[in-house]
Structures are given as C-alpha cells and as structure tokens.
C-alpha cells in the first residue's frame, strides 16, 4: 500500500526512539495502534453503510472502483491496447481514391446519418 521497505521501517523506528525516547515509545505505539484500529473500523462501517444504501444491486461494490481514474481504466480502456496489437495495420487508407465513371452516382447509405 505505501511501498515501504525494511530500510525505511528501520529508519522510522530509529527516529521514533530518538524523538519519543525509550520510556514513552511503548505508550505512543499503543496509542497509534488504537487510532489505526479506530480508523479501520470507521472505513469498514462507511463501506458497509454505502453498500446498504445502494441496495442489493451493488452488493459486490468495490470502493476503489469509485475513483474516476480506476473507473475509466476499467470500463472504457479495458482491452484497448489489445485491440491495436491484434489487428495488422493496413495501407488501404493510404491508397489513391477511385474515381467514379462519368454520370455515375456516388454511393449513399441512408442509415449512415
């Protein structure tokens, strides 16, 4: 989630020991753990309330899908790159246009407009 490695955790621990001291550090850790637990509980309750309010149609709702960037990527751009990779590029659009014989009518598609 935060992409924190073991070196960063060690640096944070050393700084915490220097700032809070070895006597107050356990108390601070307990307080931080309680706060983190309360935040997780609030988030879980908010997600369940949202699912209840939206109804059974949205029972499988993932809150991360509400992020506009994720929504666009998932629903609009899903498979776009695959479509371009599978189809060979043709040069037909670069060919010279064909001329109609004199007096011939241009093709017309009434459903095209």
Digit-coded pLDDT (tens) for 16-46:
888 888 888 889 889 989 999 999 999 999 8
CA 86 to chain centre: 25
Can you give the pLDDT at residue 108? 80
Write out the two tokens for 26: 């356990």
Q: What is the DSSP letter of 95?
A: S
Q: Is the pLDDT of residue 85 over 60?
A: no
Write down the pTM of the prediction: 0.45
From CA 30, how far away is CA 37, in angstroms rounded?
Answer: 11
Give the pLDDT confidence score for residue 31 in this predicted structure.
92
Query: For residues 25 and 17, is the Cβ–Cβ distance under 8 A?
Result: yes
Range with lowest mean pLDDT among 14-18, 52-56, 73-77: 73-77
- Predicted confidence band at 95 (pLDDT cuts at 50, 70, 90)? low
Quick check: 65 pLDDT over 80? no
Tell me the mean pLDDT in the region 62-88. 67
């Amino acid at each position: 989630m935060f992409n924190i490695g073991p070196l960063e955790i060690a640096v944070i621990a050393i700084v915490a020991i220097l700032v809070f001291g070895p006597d107050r550090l356990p108390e601070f850790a307990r307080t931080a753990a309680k706060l983190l637990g309360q935040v997780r509980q609030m988030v879980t309750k908010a997600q369940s309330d949202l699912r209840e309010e939206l109804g059974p149609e949205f029972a499988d709702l993932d809150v991360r899908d509400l992020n506009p960037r994720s929504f666009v990527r998932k629903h609009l751009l899903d498979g776009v790159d695959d479509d371009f990779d599978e189809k060979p590029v043709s040069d037909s659009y670069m060919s010279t246009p064909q001329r109609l014989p004199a007096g011939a009518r241009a093709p017309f598609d009434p459903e095209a407009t």
